[in-house]
Structure 1
Amino acid sequence: MAQNNFRVGVLLRLAPFAVLVVCLTVTVLLWDIMRKSALKELQSEFNDQVNLVQSNIRKRLDNYRDVLRGTAGLFQASESVTRNEFHTYVESMELAQVYPGIQGVGYAQLIPASEKARRVEALRKQGYPQFSIRPEGARDPYSAIIYLEPFDWRNQRAFGYDMYAEPVRREAMERARDQDTEALSGRVVLVQETSADAQYGFLLYKPIYRKGSPHDSIAQRRSSLVGWVYEPFRMNELMNQGVLGRYLETIRDQLDIEIYDGEGTDAQRLMYDSKRNGENMPAQFASTATAPYFGRDWTIRISSLPAFEAKLNTLQARMILIGGSFISLLLTLVVWLLATTNTRAIKLAARMSEQLERTLYQTISAMATVIEIRDPYTAGHQRRAADLAGAIAREMGLDDDRIRALTLAAMTYEIGKIQIPAEILSKPGRLDEAEYGLIKVHPQAGFEILREIAFPWPIARIVQQHHERLDGSGYPLGLKGDEILIEARIIAVADVVEAMLSHRPYRPALGLDAALAEITHQKGVLYEPAVVDACVRLFRELGYRMPD
């Protein structure tokens, strides 16, 4: 007897620490779940913003390509295009209003060295007495920008410039010529730039071949080339006015967008940086992707800024952490006070056991509440299914211990839905295949959450198996028959019956007759016969009614 009392005394002294460890463990688990959920939602928003920026870049460059193709069509449809015709055509496109971000549209003529003097003289006679091909020097062939609209003060700085003489531009011009397609140049500083607001840029080229001449092979393309239509871009204007536009003010303080020429994020390749202060700060979210644009790779790096990261909503997680810690300490103090009363040790031990069990039920109830907060359309579903599952178990004659295990499992079997995006849980319509695939992971997710908690019953396994079916058609493990715990088989029937009796966003309640007909029809195939029989007796013979 003394030895038994000693053992009881040891257990009483350890009880407060056990309560503290269990309560804090559950608190930390719930806090971590909510924190990760908030982080996941913000990550999803960041990914959406990244996709939007990348899509806008692609769409805008495709629009500029279409402008270039139209201009090439002008040359192909005419024996020759005069300066006035070119001006009228480009002016009619209203570039500044319809295609913001573009510096202009131009035509660079290919000039053999033998023709240089004659071509220069012809341009001078057209009213440009100072015209010359720049830079100076002997080479063969030359190219010269002879048309460029709008012909404003900035674009006039490029008039007569030989782009073919500069290696970066030349590589893109030759690629366009040999492949008979649009070609994007590498990073350059446009000749239009001045010392004020200087920025990097690039050019987009499309070859123009002699009308009527074949250009199926590379050799034919080189021999029949007469020039290029092209578009110059200043990178800041392209991004701020063309790609981002009105969206710029929305994301300026939330995202940093950097674009690099080629692969990698070497500072020497940087073409554009949306940060106005140029500071580099560690980012909580970042995306780096390299993609080809008309034969030239760009690396786009998008990082979150403090204003975006401040949207991370961890208030609910912090409340769970603070409140759970307070309750844990309070329960520990209560248990400690009870445990130190030696004269009432045995009675207090029994009370502590009851208190621990109530705490366990309250913790499970809190988990159920978290699920209902995340999934308001099925609020109460889990509690009603738990009540029905308990009634079925009693009708089947299960012992009290197994009924307690079943009740706890039934109160939390949907906990895995905490990891499913809220917009899917509350979608007012049928789920598509991908969304249903996300829903199907919740039994395994619930198992992962609960298996770290030292329940005296296999709660985590019951939760994991509640969507298994007798014929092996269930998920996530595809278990069959007696491989499935009896508690999970009971919850499976209760879950189906309650779901059919309840209204859903995508359909009204189906009614008791339909629910009982469903489980009876699938008895022995999907559902345990003894469970189905007990459920039918409850409703048909014993007058059971689902709680409100």
Structure 2
Amino acid sequence: MSRSNVGLAGSRLTRLWRYLRRGTAAYGVLLIALLLTALAWYYVRQNVEVQNRARFDESTQATQEAIERRTKAYLDAMFGARGLFYASNTVTQEDWNDYVRGIEPARRFEGLQALSYAQRVDPENRETFMRGARDEGLPGIRPDLNPSGERSAYFPLTYTGPLGDANQTILNYDFYAEGAHSKAMDLARDSGEPRATRMVYVLSDAPSGSTADLALRRGFFVYLPIYEEGEPLGSVGERRRALRGFIAGSFVSEKLLAGIFEGSFDPAIDFEVYDGASPASTPPLYDRDGIRRAGKRGNEPLFSKESRIAVAGHEWSLYFATLPAFEDGAESNLPLLVLASGLGMSLLIFGITLLVVRSRTRAEIYSEDLERLV
């Protein structure tokens, strides 16, 4: 091979190496641009997810706080009723009716089925109480004696209101004969604090669309003890001896909880309340859309959350889950737009850089060729 051919080959290799070395810069620019695009896409996608999570968390937190405020307001009404007995030596049926009308349960306390007074009647006073009830045209204590004989104490509901058809049926009914009620009443008596029953069925007006006049609906009772004034209350034994009776509130859970969501809760989030610490093993008190989701597998929601609150000493479990409408609204085209824009810009910058490299390489080649000719 002649020297001229060797020189020509070397020149071409030099030019190729120069082009490749400068072209590396263009590919480096492309790589950096693609990395920045990926980072931008990841950041925007995470930001969208954080915003959706914040929307979900804010809704669930607001709901839990609304439940706590509402139940506290209902307990305050019960404390107000107890104040009647501490403010006066005698509370009459008329006094009781006036108080119940005054708190406007239908408007201000949705779900409060009845506000009642359960009077303590010791066994030795049972017959006297029964004669007085008959004289007033009221039913006697129900249920009557246990099959085994006298109960240790009776707590008939002597006052109740508002006096609708459902509530009149419980006058002089002694719920202490039922296990769920006696447990809550004993806890209230010994602690001096309001205590709620587990889920029980509450006699109420039938829901709209029903052919019946009355219906048993899911709910609970709360008992607040009343003690004889001036009696010592320092120990459990003293509180038991001083017990005068209970303020009893009966609640329909569906009506109580449904009122929380009117116009203030995200309709794309399901909400369920369970009577106990575990939704999987406790009965539901309320289900917003009637479809149980807590503890169910398959079709996992985008977000879900369980929490617990104490209502008058009894634990409830709250379950929240996003519905398809939430997930549809959570989908955003912004991350895809950022990705597509970033890819386009990356390719554009790469193309421009590559053109500059080629132009510079060609200019140098032309300059070298001219110098060789001269």
TM-score (norm 2): 0.80
* 1:289 shift after superposition: 1.8
* 1:159 shift after superposition: 2.7
- Greater C-alpha radius of gyration: 2
Tell me whether 1:22 sits opposite 2:22 in the alignment: no
* 1:305 shift after superposition: 2.2
SS of residue in 1 equivalent to 2:113: coil
| Contact 2:276 2:282 (C-alpha < 8 Å) held by counterparts | no
Of the three residues 188, 202, 212, the one matched with 1:176 is 188
1:310-355 per-residue CA deviation (whole Å, 9 max, x = no partner) reads 333623322211222233345556667888x7xx6834999xxxxx
| Contact 1:190 1:200 (C-alpha < 8 Å) held by counterparts | yes
| Contact 1:113 1:140 (C-alpha < 8 Å) held by counterparts | yes
Q: Which residue of 1 aligns with 2:6?
A: none
Q: Which residue of 2 aligns with 1:214?
A: 232
Unaligned runs of 5+ in 2: 1-9, 366-374
| Contact 1:193 1:199 (C-alpha < 8 Å) held by counterparts | no
Of the three residues 286, 307, 329, the one matched with 1:272 is 286
* 1:237 shift after superposition: 0.5
1:432-461 per-residue CA deviation (whole Å, 9 max, x = no partner) reads xxxxxxxxxxxxxxxxxxxxxxxxxxxxxx
| Contact 2:195 2:223 (C-alpha < 8 Å) held by counterparts | yes
More displaced, 103-112 or 287-296? 287-296
SS of residue in 2 equivalent to 1:100: coil
Tell me whether 1:154 sits opposite 2:166 in the alignment: yes
Q: Sort the Cα spacing of 1:185 and 1:348 in 2 relative to 1 into closer, same or farther, 3 A.
A: farther
* 1:71 shift after superposition: 0.5
* 1:31 shift after superposition: 1.5
SS of residue in 1 equivalent to 2:57: helix
1:48-99 per-residue CA deviation (whole Å, 9 max, x = no partner) reads 2222111111111111111111110111222232222211221122121232
Q: Which residue of 1 aligns with 2:116?
A: 106
SS of residue in 1 equivalent to 2:89: coil
Of the three residues 134, 148, 165, the one matched with 2:143 is 134
* 1:272 shift after superposition: 1.4
Q: CA RMSD in A?
A: 3.1
Q: Sort the Cα spacing of 1:9 and 1:149 in 2 relative to 1 into closer, same or farther, 3 A.
A: same
* 1:229 shift after superposition: 0.4
Tell me whether 1:296 sits opposite 2:314 in the alignment: yes
Whole-angstrom CA distance in 2 between matches of 1:260 and 1:349: 80
Whole-angstrom CA distance in 2 between matches of 1:60 and 1:203: 15
1:386-433 per-residue CA deviation (whole Å, 9 max, x = no partner) reads xxxxxxxxxxxxxxxxxxxxxxxxxxxxxxxxxxxxxxxxxxxxxxxx
Q: Which residue of 2 aligns with 1:346?
A: 361
Tell me whether 1:307 sits opposite 2:317 in the alignment: no
Q: Sort the Cα spacing of 1:227 and 1:332 in 2 relative to 1 into closer, same or farther, 3 A.
A: same
Q: Sort the Cα spacing of 1:286 and 1:170 in 2 relative to 1 into closer, same or farther, 3 A.
A: same
Q: Sort the Cα spacing of 1:327 and 1:123 in 2 relative to 1 into closer, same or farther, 3 A.
A: same
* 1:6 shift after superposition: 5.0
Q: Which residue of 2 aligns with 1:504?
A: none
**Structure 1 segment 74-113 matched on structure 2, within 5 A:** 74-113=84-123
Q: Which residue of 2 aligns with 1:518?
A: none
Whole-angstrom CA distance in 2 between matches of 1:121 and 1:315: 77
Query: What amino acid sits opposite 1:152 in the alignment?
Result: G
Tell me whether 1:165 sits opposite 2:180 in the alignment: no
SS of residue in 2 equivalent to 1:66: helix
Q: Sort the Cα spacing of 1:193 and 1:7 in 2 relative to 1 into closer, same or farther, 3 A.
A: farther
Q: Sort the Cα spacing of 1:132 and 1:294 in 2 relative to 1 into closer, same or farther, 3 A.
A: closer
Q: Which residue of 2 aligns with 1:203?
A: 221
* 1:19 shift after superposition: 4.8
Of the three residues 40, 46, 50, the one matched with 1:36 is 46
Number of aligned pairs?
342
Whole-angstrom CA distance in 1 between matches of 2:125 and 2:65: 45
Unaligned runs of 5+ in 1: 351-548
Whole-angstrom CA distance in 1 between matches of 2:273 and 2:321: 12
Tell me whether 1:223 sits opposite 2:258 in the alignment: no
Whole-angstrom CA distance in 2 between matches of 1:212 and 1:91: 30
Whole-angstrom CA distance in 2 between matches of 1:348 and 1:13: 15
